[in-house]
Amino acid sequence: MKVAVVQFKASTNKEENLKKIVSYISKASSKNATLCAFSEFMMFYTNSSQTSKELESLSEKINGNFISTISQAAKENHIQVVGSFYEKSKSIDRVYDTSFVIDHLGKVISTYRKIHLYDALGFKESDKMIAGSKIAKPVGTSIGKIGMMICYDLRFPEMSRALAVAGSEVLIVPSAWVDGPMKEEHWITINKTRAIENGCYVIAPDQVGNIYCGRSLVVDPYGKILLDMKKKQGIGFVDIDLKKVKEIRKVLPLLKSRRIDAYSTLKS
């Protein structure tokens, strides 16, 4: 099955970005992709000067105009869409960083609120966001069972392993990976590692421009990079073959070979 990966530079204007998103969905469908994946913060770029109150005022609920418009585009183009948005929370001046999966009929079939906030390397997402409390169960799509992660989650191997054990054949990771010393190297290494250690595909659409490094990736279950979008805005296409997941997990049975009984003997 063909997946479309969108890499673009989100502006601070939500409506401007939404128009681009709808256009990308149409283009992905015209090329016979069955799923279109977008990056983290696709809704709009929030710069350091934007206050938590300002961010909260622009956020929406899952049934708001942003997701409803994308759902309608998915239905009209008969394509599944994965992406993220700033979701309103009950906390004052804090939002969730939430990813979503919309099916080809325009129905939201899964959401995931980012559990690992990027409070590292000079950034503090918790100043404006609130963390989710649970990992979303893998959900069936045209490209297989997908597990949802967001950006900084990649640095925590426990999460991808839990999703793989729960049945994920593909990990989709909407990201806005901040540029900086060694950051692109970290990005590529971590995406490849998550694919290799779990015997699954990793699809990681990334923001480009502003403060982000781009390099949206698709990695196969053996660690081969099938797509690297470098610094270009646009759409990349990759065919996902679930037979490869089964083959790799058979010859390199990492999930089956785990010694959970022995791991628990290590006392802190």
Residue 17's domain is classified under what CATH number? 3.60.110.10
pLDDT tier for residue 44 given thresholds of 50, 70 and 90: very high
Q: What is the pLDDT of residues 157-196, one digit of tens each?
A: 999 999 999 999 999 999 999 999 999 999 999 999 999 9
Percent of the chain with pLDDT over 70: 100
Number of folded domains that form the chain? 1
Query: Phi/psi class of residue 16: alpha, beta or left (left: φ > 0; alpha: ψ in -120 to 50)?
Result: alpha
- Residue 268's pLDDT is what? 67
Instruction: Let me know if residue 266 belongs to a domain.
Output: no
- Residue 66's pLDDT is what? 98
Which are the catalytic amino acids?
40, 114, 151
In the block, which residue shows the tokens 């948005």? 85
Q: Which residue range forms the structural domain that includes residue 238? A: 2-256
Neighbouring CB atoms inside 10 A of 258's CB total 12
Residue 92 above 90 pLDDT?
no
Mean pLDDT of the chain: 97
- Residue 184's pLDDT is what? 97
Instruction: Let me know if residue 250 belongs to a domain.
Output: yes
Neighbouring CB atoms inside 10 A of 210's CB total 16
pLDDT tier for residue 264 given thresholds of 50, 70 and 90: confident
Instruction: Let me know if residue 149 belongs to a domain.
Output: yes
Instruction: Let me know if residue 100 belongs to a domain.
Output: yes
- Residue 266's pLDDT is what? 86
**123 CA to centre of own chain:** 20
Instruction: Let me know if residue 262 belongs to a domain.
Output: no
* Residue 151: closest CA among 235, 43, 18, 38: 38
Instruction: Let me know if residue 261 belongs to a domain.
Output: no
pTM, entire model: 0.97
**Residue 134: strand, helix, or coil:** coil
In the block, which residue shows the tokens 């900086």? 180
Residue 204 CA to residue 239 CA, distance in Å, equals: 15
Instruction: Let me know if residue 6 belongs to a domain.
Output: yes
Query: Rounded mean pLDDT of 133-150?
Result: 98
Instruction: Let me know if residue 57 belongs to a domain.
Output: yes
